[in-house]
Structure 1
Amino acid sequence: MQIDLHLKALFEPDTIAVIGATPEPGTTGHAVTANLLASGYKGKIFPVNPKGEEVLGLKACKEVCDIPRFTDLAIICLPPTEALKALEILGDRPVRSAIVTSPGFGETGKEGYMLERRLARIAKASDMAVLGPNCYGMMNTELSMNASLFESFAREGNISFFAHSGAVCCTAVDWANSEFLGFSKFLSLGNKAVLSESRMLRYLASDPGTKVILGYCENLEDGQDFVRIAQDATAKKPFILLRAGETPDGAQAASAHAGALTGAAMAYDAAFRQSGILKAVDIEDMFNMARAFSFQPLPEGPSVAIVTNSGGPGIIAADMCEKGNLSISRPLPESIEKMRSFLPSYASFYNPVDMVGEAGTETYARTMEVVAEDDRFNAIIVILTPAANIHDQINGIADEIIKASRNTRKPVIACLMGRDSVAEARRKLLEAKIPCYEYPETAVRCLDAMYQCHRWQNRECPIDVCFRRDITKARSVVETYTRIGLNELVELDAQNLASAYELPIPETILARTSNQAVKAAKRIGYPVVLKIASPQISRKGELGLIMTGIESPAELRKAFLNITSLAARRCKDAYIHGCLVQAMGPENAQEAVIKFRRDPQFGPVITFSLAGLHADMLGDVSSRLAPLSLNDAQEMIREIKAYPILRGVDSGESADLGAIEDILLMISQMATDLPEIQEAEFNPVIAGPDGAVVANMRMTVG
């Protein structure tokens, strides 16, 4: 509760001290003070400068210690070392929150990083909420408060936005103002020494003035905490995030910019999926989606009515719907009959509803009325192309779109194609809170995101599954390997660890000679698999050191000789124990691969794919963060493109999907329990109609 009060002091201050305010234009302190006054902030402002000069008509304090006790917010506009001294004094007043605009901290290197750590310690010791350093500040339009370096003050609205980059913030507010897009809260996070995205997200999720949350992210310090908070936030409000630094060059640039490392792109994608975050592909996409969420209600289903005066754009929109999560339903028969009464006979009465090029104001009005009343549709996309014969009716059509939107609870998205001829109509629509786009693809993309949000907020509660496991045995295996300095578990040692989690493993026996191999096969039962046994050889299949379907002792002896001699030639430095004799997996089976790797920001990232070209060449891989719920495991299997193969499209028999789900959940439990395991590969997981087994595995311990 105390944190909430301190953030309330940051967002809704009654008193603000500007440390480093000066009467000279062009300085940071002068700009902040001027912006506070220009925005119409009604609270008390206390400028602070050593000379005690008047700043923009406000009487100044000479010392930081002269400001009133329990001031809500201090904005520090001083060089780094002086800023730290001021922060220490503010902590004694005490001041509840602060904004540090000063650059020269973690983004500059080791010396700046040490200063930033000191800033964080001061803030923690004094229990102060600190925004920055190296930030532009913040705006709260509900309070008419521009406590920032932004020259433009944002329009009032229901969107809240945060970003690391001050430049991105400046661009965003300037663009949004020209697009009639309004904000409730607008924040530049800077280096996030104290206040991170997670704490901001928690506050904004409960903020009554915020309907939509936007973010620009380059790195996350505590990814697991962020995912937990995002899951709670997205259950209430849409959260759209643009993440920079996905490519190696971009990640390096982001690290230099923000002074922190970025995580793997796959980990971020998994985090977004599991927390309901809508991922924007670029800045334009982020604000396009924000406009739709800000202006319109969420669709309650996937069915879209497309109303157009041109067939081509309607077809493009329909294609985009089918490629995403939306559907194109046929109107009800009574709706078709109504449209036949006023549309020309050569119009298309189905969906898209193509009114043809001469459709004017009245035609648009009557058609939108029909589809709005049709219960088969959950949303409406209205497309207009500026045909020559309707130029003088474009503004009237915009008025009818506004009326239609106000008379229905369904979301209405407009697409006015062109520029100059539709500029005035587009302005009308945006002012009336109707999202309007230039291209059908953009309109569909935004509506699709809205439906995804509706589906996420109305999803079934995740089912958490905890399997029985021998955690003492598992830790003993890991600790033994760590103690003796070995960092890779293979073959029987890896199986010993896996057995602690009751992973299904085919019976496996180590044979040091061909005679022992024959005895082992007799015990297991033919046919069997033979594979080399060596802690230094993990990629056995790639080296030809595995033989399957061995049916007889003679075949087994020959295979033993071939595999051991081939291993001796190809892996001269490897210590060879002999061969492993293993029971064959299920018949009519498919082979899958399950892996996990520990991401420094998000923890274990689990991946699933079919074996072979599907993952290696085509990148057909699904991913989630551990721990997995049952829903996560089910989705991972079903979202890969090769899923029909698992369902038996080739063989005629479906693999046991429940058995694969169980293996995924067991591996998730292992990854969560044992942080010493840095990465693991279970390859192949052989899944047949009546079960699945893990035939081979390797793990790296560190």
Structure 2
Amino acid sequence: MLDRMFNPKAVAVIGASRKEGKVGRAVLENLVANGFENIIPINPKDTEILGFSAYQSILDIPKEKSVDLAVIVIPAKLVPEAIAQCGKAGVANVVVISAGFKEAGVEGARLERECVEICKQYGIRMVGPNCLGIIDTDSGLNATFAANMAHKGNIAMMSQSGAICTVALDWADKTNVGFSKFVSLGNKADLDENDFLKFFEKDTSIKVIAAYLEGVKSGPDFIRIAQDVTRSKPVIIVKSGRTSVGSRAVSSHTGTLAGSDAAYNAAFRQSGVIRADSLIEMLDLSRAFSSYPLPKGRNIAIVTNAGGLGILTADACASAGLNIASFEEPTISKLRDTLPPAANIYNPVDVLGDASADVYAHALEIVLADGNVDGVILLVSPQAMTDVGEIAEKIVNAIRKSEKPILCNLAGGTRISEGEDLLQKNGIPNYPSLERAVNSMDALCSYYSIRNRKYTSSEEISSDKDAADAVIKEAISNKERILGLESMDILASYGINVVDSRIVKTLPEAVGVSEEIGYPVVMKIVSPDISHKTDVGGIRLNLKHADDVERAYNSMMSDVHRYMPDARIAGVQVQKMLSGGKEVIIGMNRDPQFGPLLMFGLGGTYVEFLKDVSFAVAPISADEAKHMVSSIKTYPLIAGVRGETPADINSIIDALMKISQLVMDFPEILEFEINPLMVMQDGEGCVAMDVRFTIDVN
């Protein structure tokens, strides 16, 4: 159906206008200006607009006109009836440019819901409302009120912001960048990013997909669809709303550290999406994928006529994780024979400031032929003797023949303009800074791995689900939103080792249980109102005999009552004190878009201070669990440094997968945290020492 939206036999413009400055006039003019011929204006007051016969209603159009697309540009309150008339007329696709829907308040939201219901009733697909419109350069369709028509190319772009669309179109017009399709998503009342990802994947005219998003409608579907799409086409997304402003209050470390942006980072990484940090970066990367072949590795050669630029580029490559290629011996010999004696023939290759275009061309040809080189970054600085225009001609010829990417930074301003214009005329980017060239090369290299990534599914975990269900149902029945140490049975029911412990109500019980468990012991306050026990003196460690237990019990109760006099005290947990392990944290915060967001990091009291954590959207596979563990900066402390015995990393991976299964099985769990999970030496497993659940009791 969407094929006919972008390549319609005829387009009706509902709200077409004779008046200059009206949106309905601009849409009509854009359709006409780009050669689209089968245009039908709809306006109850006119019989002819811009030379086209106009109709009072879409129902008045003769059936043989075969309208596949209606563009609606009328007041919001009239839109539902207009869509219903489209349905009766057999129009399958509508683009609602009109504003005044959910973005405008309660009444607008009601109108938008009404539009969606009418679309469902008639099987209509809708873009918008509150959007700029759509463009297809293959069919010549410009159903927008933008000031520019896109140049023909192989990039598809969608955006929730109409203004971002116009910025991108204007940038592309200046830089000679081409698009295949352009979609302003608007409010996404019907068609959304998932629908267009699937459609763009099948479109052979599209090589790269770019998007500006403020959010996704269905996170799990997005991950699944993007995993399929990114196997064949790069998907580059700039996502706004990165800060935690406006996020809901949370009580756990996981919730505090997560925020919605962590979920998007995890989801993008798990689905192969390349996240751009800015609109400029999104456009840079889109252009790189549009223009260049993919490198087969991360080994980069640098060719320059300025040593300083070469060194800066090498530094930038190292920071990005790109390798400075080591040349094969024949390459070095050829460079030695070709370049002046003072030139640097090792990587970066410095052809010297007075290098001619031919010298550049020879150096580039030799370097590209090296089997150790996967891509080239070429730098030109404007010396008095540098013919930038002639060098640009050689670059164009080289890029046309090369099976490896050659990214250019003609550095400077006025003196490089001739070369820059020549590159742009031939559809070749000139990156304004070496850092942007390096960043684009990094994206090209990364996508080669993304495209060949194999996604493994999560494994079914054996568990006593009924036992966990009983604990959670009891909590819901009692309206107990917070479950702490008393809920260790939930972990045990999923095969996670928990520390030997008892909950007591009195000091004599504490002493008796300590004797039974065996010293040394730990005591922890049990309260649904206390999230961070250390902050209120609610933990006592390394108690070695009864006198220690008595003193610790009394002082702990005193401290807790002093810091939190209104806290409900359910008792004290006495547990065996373990030593010799590494403390880690496993947590979960249920994200509104993506669902369970798992967190892993070093545990104990410093997790919020260090913020050295990793995230993944559940359910996760063993491979994803391994990535979570290995991607934190302090991973070497777990893996073992300077002769230390490594911690049992496999037991952490096992625990992460079990927690993933637990939170998928029970959507009632809103937040969850084991802190700490004590990980013993390799082969000795791990033990949950403390736990906290937040349950949806409504």
Please give the range of the TM-score, normalised by the shorter of the 2 chains: over 0.9
User: Alpha carbons of 1:62 and 1:399: their partners in 2 closer, same or farther (altered >3 Å)?
Assistant: same
Indicate the residue corresponding to 2:358 in structure 1: 362
Matched ranges for 1:92-103 at <5 A: 92-103=88-99
Indicate the residue corresponding to 1:398 in structure 2: 392
Greater shift in the superposed pair: 398-407 or 687-696: 398-407
Between the aligned partners of 1:231 and 1:194, the Cα distance in structure 2 is 22
> Deviation at 1:315?
1.3
- 3-state SS of 1:502 partner: coil
Indicate the residue corresponding to 2:281 in structure 1: 285
Q: Is the 8 A contact 1:331 1:351 kept in 2?
A: yes
Counterpart check, 1:496 vs 2:489: yes
> Deviation at 1:619?
2.5
What CA RMSD, in Å, does the superposition of the two structures yield over aligned residues? 2.1
TM-score for both structures, normalised by structure 1:
0.93
Greater shift in the superposed pair: 116-125 or 603-612: 603-612
Q: Is the 8 A contact 2:457 2:620 kept in 1?
A: no
Q: Deviations over 1:446-491 (max 9, x none)?
A: 0101111111111233242221112222222212111111101111
Indicate the residue corresponding to 1:465 in structure 2: 459
Indicate the residue corresponding to 1:36 in structure 2: 31
2:665 to 673, 679, 682: 673
Give 2:616's aligned amino acid.
R
Q: Deviations over 1:96-119 (max 9, x none)?
A: 100111111111111111111111
Between the aligned partners of 1:612 and 1:427, the Cα distance in structure 2 is 58
Greater shift in the superposed pair: 338-347 or 689-698: 338-347
Matched ranges for 1:381-530 at <5 A: 381-390=377-386, 393-492=387-486, 494-530=487-523
Matched ranges for 1:507-656 at <5 A: 507-585=500-578, 587-611=579-603, 615-649=607-641, 652-656=644-648
Identity %: 38
Counterpart check, 1:66 vs 2:70: no
User: Alpha carbons of 1:14 and 1:642: their partners in 2 closer, same or farther (altered >3 Å)?
Assistant: same
> Deviation at 1:557?
3.9
Give 1:189's aligned amino acid.
L
Greater shift in the superposed pair: 505-514 or 147-156: 505-514
Indicate the residue corresponding to 2:9 in structure 1: 14
Counterpart check, 1:147 vs 2:155: no
Indicate the residue corresponding to 1:259 in structure 2: none
Q: Deviations over 1:203-223 (max 9, x none)?
A: 111111111111111122222
Indicate the residue corresponding to 1:258 in structure 2: none
> Deviation at 1:289?
0.9
Between the aligned partners of 1:571 and 1:397, the Cα distance in structure 2 is 73
Q: Is the 8 A contact 2:536 2:564 kept in 1?
A: no
Between the aligned partners of 1:388 and 1:615, the Cα distance in structure 2 is 56
Counterpart check, 1:662 vs 2:654: yes
> Deviation at 1:189?
1.3
Give 2:389's aligned amino acid.
N
Q: Is the 8 A contact 1:297 1:409 kept in 2?
A: yes
Between the aligned partners of 2:582 and 2:594, the Cα distance in structure 1 is 31
Q: Is the 8 A contact 1:163 1:187 kept in 2?
A: yes
- 3-state SS of 1:142 partner: coil
Greater shift in the superposed pair: 307-316 or 566-575: 566-575
TM-score for both structures, normalised by structure 2:
0.94
- 3-state SS of 1:209 partner: coil
> Deviation at 1:346?
2.9
Between the aligned partners of 1:611 and 1:653, the Cα distance in structure 2 is 19
Q: Is the 8 A contact 1:588 1:651 kept in 2?
A: no
Between the aligned partners of 2:11 and 2:81, the Cα distance in structure 1 is 18
- 3-state SS of 2:334 partner: helix
Indicate the residue corresponding to 1:307 in structure 2: 303
User: Alpha carbons of 1:63 and 1:559: their partners in 2 closer, same or farther (altered >3 Å)?
Assistant: closer
Between the aligned partners of 1:21 and 1:560, the Cα distance in structure 2 is 79
Q: Is the 8 A contact 1:152 1:174 kept in 2?
A: yes
Counterpart check, 1:345 vs 2:341: yes
Q: Is the 8 A contact 2:604 2:675 kept in 1?
A: no
User: Alpha carbons of 1:538 and 1:62: their partners in 2 closer, same or farther (altered >3 Å)?
Assistant: closer
Q: Is the 8 A contact 1:263 1:600 kept in 2?
A: no
Indicate the residue corresponding to 1:257 in structure 2: none
1:329 to 318, 325, 328: 325
> Deviation at 1:358?
1.7
> Deviation at 1:320?
1.4
**Structure 1 unaligned runs (5+)?**
253-261
- 3-state SS of 1:215 partner: strand
Between the aligned partners of 2:152 and 2:620, the Cα distance in structure 1 is 40
Between the aligned partners of 1:373 and 1:161, the Cα distance in structure 2 is 35
Q: Deviations over 1:18-65 (max 9, x none)?
A: 1122333322222222211110125x2222221342111111222221
User: Alpha carbons of 1:250 and 1:377: their partners in 2 closer, same or farther (altered >3 Å)?
Assistant: farther
Q: Is the 8 A contact 1:491 1:535 kept in 2?
A: no
